[in-house]
Structure 1
Amino acid sequence: MNIINNKTVSVATSSELKEVLENNNGYEYIYLESDITLKSGITINSKKSKVIINGTYQGITHTLTGMNSSSDSDTIVATALTKEVQVKNIKIINPNINGIICVPEVDSYDEIVTIYDNITFNGVQLSFNPYGVVKISNSVITIENTNGIECQEVSEAERVIIGGKTNISSDSTNFSLFAFRSDSINPSLVFLCKSDIIVATYIPISLYPHFILM
């Protein structure tokens, strides 16, 4: 682990990433200085209201690989006091159906925002945030079977906002591209104006949403 300042560090291993995120240490901005495969689940410390994980360090973009597990605890898990988790400038491989960032399936977690900016993703599901907001921009998202696990949606969320130059494709023939809960208050899928968005899917994009152009 390399301490850059009182809020910023770089990490090289799964255990270092876990240590930084789980402890009340003031670190909110985390660079990956090497490729990392999660060895165990990580629960973000409740004192961290905002966290940024940047996969590019000293000009090199690294890969974060999720665990080959179907358990939501084997992801990076937000708490009720987490307000925003941003993942940027990174490659992600994820065989876990609960996403690489998981927000628990509790409606009191409805204000949490997960942001994916300038990422290349390959896996079974990007984000699980059923009562929160998922933002995707300037990214290439490929939903595909991984390590023998059937691919599902890009995300489960209350609100999905997509912008920038973004390409989303899915190999799934059983799941919609986005999932919205039937008990969601205002489920919506937003495409930002002046964006360049390509979507390729075998089945309907989503269930229960309102489509909005902004």
Structure 2
Amino acid sequence: TVEEEPLRYNRSGLRAHRQNVQLVLQDPDDQLFSTDVAQDVSFGPMNLGLTTSEVTDRVDEALGLLGIDHLRRRPTHQLSYGERKRVATAGAVAMRPCVLLLDEPTAGLDPAGVEEMFTAFERLEKNHTTVLLSTHDVALALDWADSVALVGNGTITQGETTAVLSDAHTLTAARLRVPWPLALAQQLAGDGLISADARPRNAAELRAALTAPPSTAS
């Protein structure tokens, strides 16, 4: 179901589903095919039968949300890898989905590219799009995700982010490791330096736990 509506498998039902739920593949070159950025981003809306002005509005909106309006007329083959990733995402965003699925969106990106991508995700969430991504980077998931679903050994463990990602046994079964902020927090708690129930999600929260008075550290 999407927004409590069951998926219908007839032509109109699948058409509606593909507008509500969009997928961005790991390799942007599997999705980009038009001459320039604006043409590529407009492809989906044009196939919805929208007017020219409606398509233009959606392209403008998507480029703005992804922070790539300056690439509008750039040939897609002249883009960097990170730029191609954001253009592929903009093509999905132009459909105005309620759910955006991304496969390893940070793969191949440098730290600046990762930061730019997640800044774009924040804009999308403020624009009422739910962002769901797959990743092997557990520290990134810890810092960003509201909830996680961990796949391993043919089972799915789903729940609050820090609860799931502090479970070493479940993570090991999925061939993953406890993310470094939680692993370091466990060691510091063992040394009596921070509260035993501290669950920092990033470096800033770990520092706050270290500088908090012992009676209130968390």
TM-score, normalising length: structure 2: 0.32
Between structure 1 and structure 2, the one with the greater Rg is: 2
Structure of higher RCO (CA pairs closer than 8 Å, 6+ residues apart): 2
Name whichever structure is richer in helix by fraction: 2
TM-score, normalising length: structure 1: 0.32
